Structure 1
């Protein structure tokens, strides 16, 4: 390891520079002393009142007819996202049925069970907590051999949601995928949403298990969507599911 040389110290050139530096210090000290002396001889000035009349705005409440109308749910995202998060879950596909799952109760999910689907479950669990997750709404459906898992994770800030969405997408880039590419496909109109087709899991004596995933973030909410099937899953299927979920957000 090469240790860089310490930066050279610049020295004043000649006695003139030294005299000027001393004079400057003396001048500053003398000025400070005089200023303190003048201030000490003055009478103290009274502080302004802590509360002053006339600062309130507006001075009088507006008449009922002149008050601006409240924002509708379509204009104010907080009206919807701060309500029952379960109502924002994407609608169940036609012909699918709800499936009881041990990892959610009444469409509310447990953080540990959500994280457990990842190889680095402990790391994701603490990351979700660190980003201040508020709640997780979830749903599970089945339609023939096809199964769906939906998660909506709401955080206390959009920043936390963005960071978790990036973490999940980074994980999906790292796992084996099909020949569509390691970066997944962009979900049009979502900003940062992507969807992925993973390589099927094959074991002797069992049908192959295909998996498709989508991750999309809108404001303080992350949608994590999964489809499993014993037959190949098309990009269109996972993309349309993600688009419908995005519309709900």
Structure 2
């Protein structure tokens, strides 16, 4: 009877131990299962805001297609003769004018002079006397621009779309001023008379205006490295 009771006690304790181990195993298995399930969910879950930010800061940047550089606008620069380039530099020093501002002015003088057969240096000399190369000069008589053209007297020399204000455009002013000088040459037959006509001083027996312009022209001829032309050219 005693032995039977002891055996029964051992059996109960063994059963309890087995049951405890079984519960522990089930608990462990459950924990493992939860972890496996959670891991699977993490692998398939979308990346959150913080993850995306971390990735953008630390991950290597994605390769991008090369971007073609923007095209550079090509601006045609005025083409000056070698003589006029030397004249440009002399004027810049003598009159304190930028060479950049002078280039289109001198190019216009070369173009206009060749068009009517007048020495471009004479046209430049008129500019020096009239405005000292100030394209916005305006006299009390209303003469405007580089060659001090009075609009009301020479509207016929402007294009249909060019009003009086157009004479402040250096290229327009030089073109019109040269035409006025050429008009005087055709009308009076000599450059001295043409210059006196241009300066509004035809009645001056001393021809002071023409002599002043020609004196400047001779300086320009020297600056250009050209041999002086005959008087009256």
Higher relative contact order (CA 8 A, sep 6+): 2
Q: Could you tell me the TM-score, scaled by structure 1's length?
A: 0.27
More helix by share: 2
Flag the structure with larger Rg. Answer: 2
More strand by share: 1
